[in-house]
Amino acid sequence: MGIAEAIALTGLAHLVGDYVIQSHWMAVEKTKRWWPAIAHAVTYGLPFLLITQSPVALLVIVGTHAVIDRHRLARHLVWFKNQFAPFAFRPGHTATGYPDDTPPWLSFWLLIAADNILHMLINVAAVVWL
């Protein structure tokens, strides 16, 4: 499968798994406990069965999804990249990785974008190379 096709198909699978299939319980609890994070990751992986039957690719997609969501790794990635600024502009380790004076709606959506991109990079790589 080529990269362009993988991006399109995994993008659709990602949207279905993360936004259509995920329940409110999973969304609220996945950062607090492993069981909801695992339940979400497993259901998240279901649409990917239509794209790949590679057990290794599916394990990478589901496993990394559980870890990324459980630990909110996107906020750490955002925080890290925001450290490449003059000292006065570096945020503390906030809930979103952005400074506290960033409008809440903006920091929330930028964090969601970073999270989606992180998942997509992993998913496309898994589908193409595994």
Q: With contact defined as beta carbons under 8 Å apart, do 82 and 90 qualify?
A: yes
Q: What tens digit of pLDDT does each residue of 5-55 get?
A: 999 999 999 999 999 999 999 999 999 999 999 999 999 999 999 999 999
The overall pTM is greater than 0.95: no
Angstrom distance (rounded) from CA 41 to CA 43: 6
Average pLDDT over residues 60-75: 96
Best CA proximity match to 69, nearest among 124, 107, 125, 14: 14
Angstrom distance (rounded) from CA 62 to CA 58: 6
> Is a pLDDT exceeding 90 seen at residue 92?
no
Angstrom distance (rounded) from CA 113 to CA 130: 25
